[in-house]
Amino acid sequence: IILILDQAEALKTTILAPDLPILSTDDDRLKQYKNQIEMKKGVAWYGNIIYIPKVLRSMVLRQCHDVKQAGHYGFPKTLHLARRQFWWAGMRPSVNDYAKSCPVCTVNKNKPGKPTGLLQSVSDPTKPWQEIGMDFIVDLLSSNGYMVIW
């Protein structure tokens, strides 16, 4: 957790860097929150949390979900981590969409239902040649017209 928080703090420093374009209260999403947003040195603050404009949201989501320290924890933990220091209108659905579309999470998450393809043990044969097992090696380079070993 400390490493993740350190990374979030480093990301916060990057967002506060003076060479980033000054944010404007003209942003459509900010208009509805204009009474709660305070501009300080070109950065929009929502209380003690930084407002993240659309152009920087993917960077924040990557840092809160994809980096090794964040651990691809999925929607709830990614949202919690991002909300500690950052905010934007519609944050919950955008974090949810990001976590659902993460290719690493999609491949590695547990699938619902009964596991498929588990091996079943076979009973010991009672007489010769009752059970026969065979292994196949396929997709080999052709040798004398043969591409399979069995």
Domain ranges of the chain: 1-108
Burial class of residue 63 in the structure, from the number of CB atoms within 10 Å of its CB (0-12 exposed, 13-18 middle, 19+ buried): buried
pLDDT given for residue 10 in this prediction: 58
DSSP 124: P
Reading the block at residue 8, the tokens are 């979030």
pTM (2 decimals)?
A: 0.57
Q: Which pLDDT tens digits describe the chain residue by residue (150 residues)?
A: 344 445 555 566 555 555 444 455 456 666 777 788 787 777 778 888 888 888 888 888 988 888 777 677 888 889 998 898 888 888 999 999 998 888 888 887 777 777 666 677 778 889 998 888 888 888 888 888 888 888
Residues 6 or more apart from 51 whose CB is under 8 A from it?
23, 30, 37, 43, 44, 45, 86, 87, 88
Where does 1-108 sit in CATH, by number? 1.10.340.70
